[in-house]
Structure 1
Amino acid sequence: MSTTSDASPDGTPTAPARSGGGTADRRTRSGWWPLLTRLHFYAGVLVAPFLLVAALTGLAYTAVPQLDQLVYSEQLRVEKVGDTVKPLTEQIAAARKAHPEGSIATVVPAEAPDHTTKVVLSVPELAEQDKQRTVYVDPYTGEVRGALTTWFGSTPLATWLDDLHRHLHLGETGRLYSELAASWLWVLVLGGLLLWFGRRRAYAGGSKHNTVLPERGARGVRRSRSLHAVTGVWVSAGLLVLSATGLTWSTYAGERFTDLRTSLSAYAPELDTSLSGGSKGTSGHDHSGGHEAAPPGGLPTGLTVDQVLEEARAAGLDGPVEISTPADDKSAWTVAQTDGLWPVRLDQTAVDPHSGEITARVDWGDHPVLAKLSTLGVRAHMGTLFGLANQIVLAVIALGLTVGIVLGYRMWWLRRPTRGDRRAPMGRAPARGAWRQLPWPALAAAVPLIITVGWAFPLLGWSLLAFLVLDALLGLLHRRRGGRPAVDS
């Protein structure tokens, strides 16, 4: 396929220069498209493998709730729902009898009639791995249904799939893969949208049919390009959300986001669990005769865990909650809502272990807007914000990204030179040197913008620099061999 002046190497047409227009006019109207095409091509070819891994591992992670219920039904669910729930103190006693190791960290009362109560233990040998031991108790019979090594409440299977998605079980080194994928994902999505919708505008008579639905009758490269682009259009919003939320907990870009939140004071208020001087509260009902330290590995004296929960319920904390034991004899109990389904319920209270007074409180409404958006975005990314609907949407997005990547590589393969002496194992890259078509004012504005983006997303910046160096070296090698400029076939 020959290259003409009114089409970019991927078939994306560019508007021709107006009659009588000068070089600057021609560059202004058409210079961006070849450059954007080349960037989209290189990023797609070189970063797509990382995105494919992220999509497939993310697809597996979307099924975690169902897999947990299948694999750990003995621990997570009760076989027969009873009429009366035993006091939490009795359930905790049963858990401690079966597992006396470590100390009690948190207690999660059964969140539904057919769920078990979770007694979470802090065990020294597990604490070094940021893990805990969770004991599951039947709330109706007090029977211990089993125990699992958990990570922030996640089962071993969920933890394994989470590690696979985040860093391929390669530790901090592996985290670079996911950050690289997330850093380039938004660039590929936005670039692809500009190319596809720009193509519709450039072609006379372009219609929505060519942008949101596959082209009818298209074959070969054209059909693959249409399917690739339309798939990207339909999942683009979700991909941008996943890219943004994934970057918030990445290593380098995440550090930039943390600095931004710090500068804007956009963190959720921290619940104050301290008791003044370690003394009991001055109001409420005193349920103990004195202020004593908690026994090693056990619950503190004073209020029972049932009474703590009762005080929190009276303060308005309904729904699923997590009860955390006091850190020492100068700290309060913490009761926090854990309902992450929309609308979320994430209020917290601190309860004096002796008087029952609510000594501090942080409500969801107290969180800054950016902190709320971050929390909601992360929950949506993990598939827990809207329940099953959230999981289905994530699965569709992951499948859409996978299909788009496969079609992109198929385009590359189909566009390889196959005539005469132009046979090649793969398609050629779009012609280099497109930046020379840009006017100086555009270049002057683009350079600081690229530097800023590279600073905000370090892996994006460094990998882009690597692309430029590699491209320059290939161009130099090509010129030394006396070859013609590479064009798409």
Structure 2
Amino acid sequence: MSVDTPARESAPPTIPKPGLWAALRPLALRLHFYAGVLVAPLLFVAALTGLLYALSFQAENILYRHELRVPVGESAKPLTAQVAAAKEAHPEGEVTAVWPAPEQGATTRVLMRAPGLADDESLAVFVDPYTTDVRGALTSTGSSGALPLRSWLSSLHADLQLGELGRNYSEMAASWLWIVALGGLALWIGRRRRMRLLRPERGATGRRRTLSWHGSVGLWAVTGLVLLSATGLTWSRYAGENIAELKDRLGGATPTVAAATAGGLGGAGHEHHEGMAMPGAAPSALTLDQVAATARDQGVRASIQISLPGAGKGFVVRERDTEFPVHLDAVAVDPADGRVMDVLRFADYPLLAQLTRFGIDAHMGVFLGLPNQLALAALALALMALIVWGYRMWWQRGPVRGRAPGRPQPRGAWRRVPLPALAALAAVTLVVGWFVPLLGIGLVAFLGVDALLGLPARRKGKAAS
């Protein structure tokens, strides 16, 4: 005999809840789309001008070869004689610093304050160290000593030759570059089951082929692009102030050598050398050669710059070798008696200050020399290609060839994000938007544009209901 058991009702199949990334992906797609369409023109300009700047180092060596290079002679003349030759050729200038020839065949650069130049500009007089012949004079800008070509391209990259107003363009580009790069990285890795990551897909056509190149090249370039964004923001107008304040609070401020003198300069019984101090300072008892020798005794000898003493300050001798392994030590020398007042070793910089210096020098193309400049050029070319591919994909998403390009991810993507994650995302966005102001302003602008574009759809929805 068998007992019939009632059949159990089968439980309805459970639908797995989508993961966090599945909820965030539509939001990331929409942000990546708007940032790509609206900010990409600024990024393209920054990449193009950055490419020109990266190539300017080698162009500068060719264009200004007469001023920079000389035939090697038997022995170099004293620095005092070289400075005297520069002053004789340009009596209108006031000597502020001297860059002795860093190697055989290079000229000595005498920097002067001259009428008609900006605060960050100097008249650089190039002197043959073997004959004291003046080879020429050019305007030099900044601590790196950029000559006219590189200086002009640097300003074009930073502010489009528009001054303070133009700096907003480069800061906006730097503020959004890391967002676009990291967002694109997340979106590309999210497709790992369907497409290759490290190289373009063979045999793909149409939009899939464009996406394959866009994603693969972006993956190779993302680290460099994020570093360019971070280092570019360090000397930006608004975010740069916040970064500097944060760095100071974390103990990462860049130290300076103590060059203040205790009392008056010079004294009875010393021979004074005219012009070995800037206006407002007492004449020094030392020659530049003596100052350079004192610096060498302290280990400060690689590509040095000798800054003349100002009012209440001594000589400052700094190394300028920013190419890794860097030599950036400095020493202060008392103009009265040649006493070493202070020595500052780059090894004693706070770690954060060292990393900041490395990052800025890498951004400027001087940290690793020619390989650094070639890497910057490659990143610039990659970024321009990524932007072109991005616009091409936008056009290829159009429903019919020849009509309007494709639309972004549908609105309301944020509603799919779990509330805790959405709250955390909103908090992080507010903090980052405050710390990087032009990023925050851009986000508000995107929201405004999106709301305006969505008005017709809302009106149609209300009319239909």
In 1, the alpha carbon distance for the partners of 2:21 and 2:445 equals 29
Correspondent of 1:144 among 119, 134, 144: 134
2:400 to 418, 428, 433: 418
How do 1:317-356 and structure 2 match up within 5 A? Answer: 317-328=300-311, 330-356=312-338
Q: Which residue in 1 is equivalent to 2:424?
A: 445
Conserved? CA contact 1:303–1:353, under 8 Å: yes
Matching residue's letter, 1:307? Q
Alpha carbons of structure 1 residues 325 and 295: separation in structure 2 relative to 1, 3 Å: closer
Contact 2:273 2:287 in 1 (8 A): no
Q: Aligned partner of 2:141: which letter?
A: W
Say what the alpha-carbon RMSD is for the aligned residues: 2.4
Residues 265, 335 of structure 2: 8 Å contact kept: no
Q: 1:274 to 1:46 in 2, by over 3 A?
A: same
State the AA in 1 paired with 2:297. A
What does residue range 400-415 of structure 1 map to in structure 2 within 5 Å?
Answer: 400-415=382-397
SS at match of 1:48: helix
Counterpart for residue 3 of structure 2 = none
The one-letter amino acid paired with 2:114 is V
1:31 aligns with 2:13: no
Query: Who is 2:164 aligned against?
Result: 172
| Structure 2 contact 273–283 (Cα < 8 Å) conserved | no
Residues 123-174 of structure 1: CA deviation (Å, up to 9, x unaligned): 2431x44211110001111100111112122111111000000010011111
User: Does residue 132 of structure 1 match 2:122?
Assistant: yes
- 1:433 equivalent to 2:412? Answer yes
Number of the residue aligned with 1:306: 289
Alpha-carbon distance in 2 for matches of 1:27, 1:478: 29
Q: Residues 30 and 409 of structure 2 are in contact (CA less than 8 Å); yes or no, is this contact kept in structure 1?
A: yes
Residue identity in the other structure for 1:159: S
Query: What is the aligned partner in structure 2 of residue 251 from structure 1?
Result: 237
Structure 1 pair 45/290, CA: closer, same or farther in 2 (3 Å)?
A: closer
Which one-letter code corresponds to 1:139 in the other structure? P
| Aligned residue runs from structure 1 range 270-281, under 5 A | 270-278=256-264
Q: Distance in 1 between matches of 2:283 and 2:53?
A: 38
Distance between the aligned counterparts of 2:169 and 2:21, measured in 1? Answer: 37
Asked if structure 1 preserves the Cα contact closer than 8 Å seen for 2:272 and 2:283, the reply is no
Partner Cα distance (2:148, 2:56) in 1: 11
Deviation at 1:30, TM superposition (A): 2.0
Moved over 6 A (4+): 290-296
- Partners of 1:252 and 1:444 in 2: how far apart? 26
1:21 aligns with 2:15: yes
Alignment of 1:64-463 (within 5 A): 64-78=56-70, 80-126=71-117, 128-152=118-142, 153-201=145-193, 203=194, 210-278=196-264, 288=270, 300-328=283-311, 330-418=312-400, 424-463=403-442
Give distance in 2, aligned partners of 1:29 and 1:169.
43
1:354 CA drift (Å): 2.7
Q: 1:69 to 1:19 in 2, by over 3 A?
A: farther
How far 1:481 sits from its partner (Å)? Answer: 4.3
Task: Write out per-residue CA displacement over residues 265-285 of structure 1, whole angstroms, 9 at most, x where no aligned residue.
Answer: 31122211112122569xxxx
Question: Partners of 1:26 and 1:396 in 2: how far apart?
Answer: 39
Q: Secondary structure at the match of 2:166?
A: helix
Between the aligned partners of 2:203 and 2:277, the Cα distance in structure 1 is 77
Q: 1:55 aligns with which of 40, 44, 47?
A: 47
SS in structure 2 opposite 1:236?
A: helix
CA separation in 1, counterparts of 2:21 and 2:365? 43
> Could you tell which deviates more after superposition, 91-100 or 435-444?
435-444
Give, in whole Å, the separation in 2 of the partners of 1:296 and 1:374.
31
Q: Which amino acid aligns with 1:340?
A: T
Counterpart CA distance in 2 for 1:301 and 1:280 is 6
8 Å CA contact 2:199, 2:216 repeated in 1? yes
- Cα shift at 1:418: 0.6
- Going from structure 1 to structure 2, the CA distance change for 1:366 and 1:296 (only over 3 Å counts) comes to closer
Tell me which residue corresponds to 1:3.
none
TM-score (norm 1): 0.87
What is the CA–CA distance in structure 2 between the aligned matches of 1:357 and 1:442, rounded to whole Å? 62
Secondary structure at the residue paired with 1:200? coil
Q: Tell me the SS of whatever aligns to 1:121.
A: strand
| Change over 3 Å in CA distance of 1:226–1:140 after alignment to 2 | same
For residues 326 and 63 of structure 2, the distance between their equivalents in structure 1, rounded to whole angstroms, comes to 27
**Closer/same/farther in 2, CA of residues 242 and 295 from structure 1, 3 Å limit:** closer
Matches of 1:113 and 1:299 in 2, distance apart? Answer: 34
What is the letter of the counterpart of residue 55 of structure 1?
A: A
**What per-residue deviation string (whole Å, max 9, x for no partner) do you get for residues 439-478 of structure 1?**
2111111111110110111101111111011101111123
Letter in 2 for 1:440: L
Matches of 1:294 and 1:239, distance apart in 2 = 46
Question: How many Å apart are 1:287 and its aligned residue?
Answer: 8.7
Identity %: 48
- The Cα offsets for residues 206-241 of structure 1, whole Å up to 9 and x where unpaired, read as 6xxx00011111100000001001010011111011
Give, as a single letter, the amino acid of the residue that structure 2 aligns with 1:174.
G
The Cα offsets for residues 292-331 of structure 1, whole Å up to 9 and x where unpaired, read as 9967769933110011101111111122100000002x32
Determine the C-alpha separation between the residues in 2 that align with 1:296 and 1:261. 33
Distance 1:296 1:381 in 2: 33
Find the counterpart in structure 1 of residue 454 from structure 2. 475
- Are the structure 2 counterparts of residues 340 and 364 from structure 1 closer, same or farther at C-alpha, using a change threshold of 3 Å? same
Structure 2 CA distance for partners of 1:287 and 1:368, relative to 1, 3 Å = farther
| Unpaired runs of at least 5, structure 1 | 1-17, 485-489
Measure the CA separation in 2 of the matches of 1:464 and 1:107: 48
Q: Residues of 1 paired with 2:222 and 2:192: CA distance?
A: 17
Cα deviation code 1:166-216 (max 9, x no counterpart): 010011111111111111110011111111111115x4xx6xxx0001111
d(CA) in 1 for partners of 2:272, 2:138: 36
Partner residue, 1:5: none
Distance 1:300 1:58, change over 3 A: same
Determine the C-alpha separation between the residues in 2 that align with 1:187 and 1:335.
Answer: 41
| Count of residues in Structure 1 that have an aligned counterpart in Structure 2 | 449
TM-score under structure 2 normalisation?
A: 0.92
SS of corresponding position for 1:276: coil
